[in-house]
């Protein structure tokens, strides 16, 4: 067994103890290996996986153009091991040089590993995004004040306006970036789907569309990227929930989600998941009230050179 295999096996046990919903600890993706040692000589490692995104790719609207993701292999060494690999990561960034403003350094780690939380904060990382999960239960529909229905092709402009309201709001309080291509990209991502399936839902009040839920049923298999974060199976996914600014706080989001959750349940999903930004004062309250809780936290600092 190599040091890496031993660390990964220990990390698997650690993750299983931390949170029963986590899948087996994933092996690092291809990238540059970083080695570090604790004062007592214990060896730890990490891989720096680099992701480059460009206009047209969905993540262009919520991530830096260049992301250096540290994928730690720290086994059961906890805060000490995480501190060692983050120090080594800082030195690695110094060596590769400053890559400019549109860059990020990230670590995606189980939210419940609170010993490491202190270490991430001390290295200047922010808990910018969480992957949150919810059990696949049905909900009793609340009293309806809006008509919730699948979006039609004729709703395209209203859907794009709501999607852009979400991008603009999330750019103030989280990971999103209002790129020049944002509106065109959001339009392209929904245009072909409206009226074709029941993934995009709108809430209508007095004939006016005031809310949007863009969702999907995701088959999470061993070869899909989501298998790094979620147990294998069929998952309900919420990509975007948005209510027009003047209509928020009146139960419309809740009514949309009651329909969406019951729709997911009809597909025999194993759970529901989504991403939200902890600094978002609306979604960070709304989603836990809807039954979601953090599974993974994406710790992030932009630009990458700001890592401490
Ligand atoms: C997050 C967001 C979609 C929530 O939608 P919303 O319609 O404002 O949410 P709701 O009104 O359904 O829920 C908010 C609270 O208001 C309550 N509420 C207020 N007036 C109400 C009424 N007349 N009837 C029912 N509920 C009411 C809801 O019960 C809920 O409280 P609870 O969770 O304690 O039950 C919306 O605030 C939004 O668009 N935010 C900006 C974009 C964003 O952050 N999107 C999410 C990104 S992950």
Q: Which pLDDT value is given to residue 192?
A: 87
Pocket of ligand 1, candidates 243, 274, 277, 279: which has the most ligand atoms within 8 Å of its Cβ, to mutate?
Answer: 243
CATH number, residue 220? 3.40.630.30
Which residue's CA lies nearest to atom 34 of ligand 1?
Answer: 289
- The pTM for the full model equals 0.96
CA 181 from centre of chain: 21
Element (H, E) at 208: strand 208-220
Residues 203-209: contacts with CB under 8 Å, at least 24 apart: 203/146, 203/147, 203/148, 203/243, 203/252, 203/255, 203/256, 204/146, 204/147, 204/148, 204/149, 205/145, 205/146, 205/147, 205/247, 205/252, 208/158, 209/155, 209/158, 209/159, 209/162
Around ligand 1, the residues with Cβ closer than 6 Å are: 166, 169-170, 241-243, 248-254, 276, 280, 282-283, 286, 289
187 and 255 share one domain: yes
110 and 169 share one domain: no
Q: Computed over its alpha carbons, how large is the radius of gyration of the chain?
A: 20
User: Is 30 within a domain?
Assistant: yes
CA 205 to centroid of ligand 1, rounded, Å: 15
Provide the residue-wise pLDDT of the chain in tens; the chain has 308 residues: 788 899 999 999 999 999 999 999 999 999 999 999 999 999 999 999 999 999 999 999 999 999 999 999 999 999 999 999 999 999 999 998 867 899 999 999 999 999 999 999 999 999 999 999 999 999 999 999 999 999 999 999 999 999 999 999 999 999 999 999 999 999 999 988 999 888 999 999 999 999 999 999 999 999 999 999 999 999 999 999 999 999 999 999 999 999 999 999 999 999 999 999 999 999 999 999 999 999 999 999 999 999 99
Number of domains in the chain: 2
d(CA 156, CA 136): 30
110 and 12 share one domain: yes
User: Is 273 within a domain?
Assistant: yes
190 and 86 share one domain: no
124 and 254 share one domain: no
Instruction: State the alpha helices, DSSP H only, in the chain.
Output: 3-18, 78-96, 114-122, 156-173, 182-191, 252-266, 283-289
DSSP structure string for 149-162: EE--GGGHHHHHHH
Q: Which pLDDT value is given to residue 96?
A: 87
115 and 172 share one domain: no
User: Is 140 within a domain?
Assistant: no
155 and 59 share one domain: no
Pocket of ligand 1, candidates 130, 167, 250, 252: which has the most ligand atoms within 8 Å of its Cβ, to mutate?
Answer: 250
226 and 126 share one domain: no
Which residue's CA lies nearest to atom 10 of ligand 1?
Answer: 251
User: Is 141 within a domain?
Assistant: no
CA 101 to centroid of ligand 1, rounded, Å: 34
Q: Which pLDDT value is given to residue 279?
A: 98
CA 85 to centroid of ligand 1, rounded, Å: 40
46 and 89 share one domain: yes
Nearest CA among 247, 167, 168, 259 for reference residue 213: 259
Secondary-structure percent of the chain, ordered helix, strand, coil, rounded to 5 = 35, 30, 35
Domain that holds residue 118: 3-132+299-306
15 and 124 share one domain: yes
Q: Which pLDDT value is given to residue 98?
A: 66
63 and 179 share one domain: no
Which residue's CA lies nearest to atom 44 of ligand 1?
Answer: 283
Q: Which pLDDT value is given to residue 299?
A: 98
User: Is 139 within a domain?
Assistant: no
119 and 157 share one domain: no
User: Is 142 within a domain?
Assistant: no
Nearest CA among 120, 130, 136, 111 for reference residue 233: 136
């Amino acid at each position: 067994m190599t040091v890496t295999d031993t660390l990964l096996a220990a990390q698997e046990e650690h993750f299983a103890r931390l949170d029963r919903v986590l899948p087996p600890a994933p092996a690092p993706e291809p990238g540059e290996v970083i080695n570090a040692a604790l004062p007592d000589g214990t060896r730890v490692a990490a891989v720096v996986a680099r992701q480059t995104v460009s206009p047209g790719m969905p993540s262009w609207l919520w991530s830096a153009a260049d992301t250096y993701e540290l994928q730690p292999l720290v086994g059961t060494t906890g805060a000490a091991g995480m501190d060692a690999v983050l120090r080594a990561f800082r030195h690695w960034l110094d060596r590769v040089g400053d890559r400019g403003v549109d860059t990020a350094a990230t670590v995606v780690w189980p939210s419940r590993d609170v010993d490491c939380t202190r270490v991430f904060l001390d290295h200047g990382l922010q808990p910018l995004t969480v992957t949150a999960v919810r059990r696949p239960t049905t909900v009793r529909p609340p009293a309806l004040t809006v008509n919730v229905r699948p979006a039609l092709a004729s709703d395209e402009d209203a859907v794009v306006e709501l999607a852009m309201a979400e991008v603009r709001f999330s750019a103030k309080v989280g990971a999103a970036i209002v790129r020049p291509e944002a509106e065109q990209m959001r339009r392209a991502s929904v245009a072909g789907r409206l009226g074709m399936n029941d993934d995009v839902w709108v809430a209508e009040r007095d004939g006016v569309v005031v809310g949007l839920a863009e969702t999907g049923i995701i088959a999470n298999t061993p070869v899909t990227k989501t298998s790094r974060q979620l147990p294998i199976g069929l998952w309900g996914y919420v990509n975007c929930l948005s209510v027009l600014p003047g209509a928020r706080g009146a139960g419309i989001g809740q009514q949309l989600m009651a329909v969406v959750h019951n729709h997911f349940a009809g597909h025999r999903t194993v759970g529901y998941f989504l991403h939200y930004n902890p600094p978002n004062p609306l979604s960070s309250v709304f989603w836990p009230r809807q039954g979601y809780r953090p599974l993974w936290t994406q710790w992030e600092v932009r630009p990458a050179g700001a890592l401490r």
